Amino acid sequence: MHVVYLEHDGKVLLVDQDGNGPMTKSMFSNSTESMYRFPTVSEVLKLGIEFDEKSSFQIQYLSRGIQVTKAYPKINWPEHWIWKDEVFLPVNVHVIVKESIYRSVHRLVSKLIIHNQKNEVLMAKINRGHFKGYWSLPGGYMDHDEHPEEGCLRETFEELGLKLQSTDGLEKITQRVFHQEGISFVSFTYSCEWNGEITELQPLEEEIENVLWFPLSKAISLAVSHFDIEALQSFAESKK
């Protein structure tokens, strides 16, 4: 099955089981007799809406793959469509709608390039998660009410036991959508000079296997995260 996720400035197009729409807020109820969902391509065209495709991803549902095309409708702002933030609570909104909108929310990550006067970069070997066994810059997911600069300093303290008061400033903002899942990450990477010794650190044992200083060129070659690589390359350019 192939459906279209049309969004225009926070408003989304939903139709009923027969493809009639758009659904409005007044149609919400606690009844599951009418299940509202994304329209198919033919249903969108039947409504007379043209659109520009932005991306496409798959969701596994009841042992089958649902293809979801995220697109921008070429119409004026649809005031009568439903706000995307209002689809999660009602029981009569299809799970594919909720999952697609959930995936469209940016995941925010904050990282820190810690460098010294020798032009070396501090990197940690990760002991869990996506990058287990690989070298990475300290950092991680931001808290909901947290500025990205505060986030990278907090994560550095939690991971390495290193208490830094501030950074040199923002080095790189990188965004990427992982297309198969349709999940978007935004990474804020800061830089900070620290000339201490590895022995001064207190790595979080359950998360960090090892911490070492590396020459900048070596750090770039060891990094596996798309965001770390771009940030380190940007940092290297600033040092020329």
CATH of the domain at 169: 3.90.79.10
End-to-end CA distance of the chain: 52
- State residue 179's pLDDT score: 67
Angstrom CA distances, 220 to 24, 123, 138, 207, 210, stand at 50, 10, 14, 21, 17
Same domain, 174 and 65: no
- Using DSSP, how many helices (H) and how many strands (E) does the chain show? 5, 12
pTM, 2 dp:
0.82
pLDDT of amino acid 107:
93
Q: What is the pLDDT of residue 31?
A: 54
Of the residues 104, 136, 171, the one at which a domain ends: 104
Helices (H), 24-107: 41-46, 95-104
Domain C-terminal end among 80, 104, 128: 104
- Predicted local confidence at residue 64, as pLDDT: 86
Residues 66 and 84 in one domain: yes
68 and 40 in a common domain: yes
Q: Do residues 234 and 191 both lie within one domain? A: yes
CA distance 222 to 100: 34
- Within this chain, do residues 24 and 53 fall inside the same structural domain, yes or no? yes
Q: Domain of 60?
A: 2-104
| Residue 72 near residue 6 (C-beta atoms within 8 A) | yes
What DSSP element (H or E) covers 156? helix 148-160
Residue 181 has a pLDDT of 75
Residue with tokens 């925010």: 108
pLDDT of residue 32: 55
Q: Give the pLDDT of residue 131.
A: 85
Whether residues 93 and 114 fall in one domain:
no
Please indicate, yes or no, whether residues 149 and 172 belong to a single structural domain of this protein: yes
Please identify, among 69, 104, 139, the residue that sits at the C-terminal boundary of a domain: 104
Q: Which residues of the chain have pLDDT under 70?
A: 28-33, 179
- The total number of structural domains in the chain stands at 2
According to the model, what pLDDT value does residue 91 have? 86
Are both 132 and 226 inside the same structural domain? Answer: yes
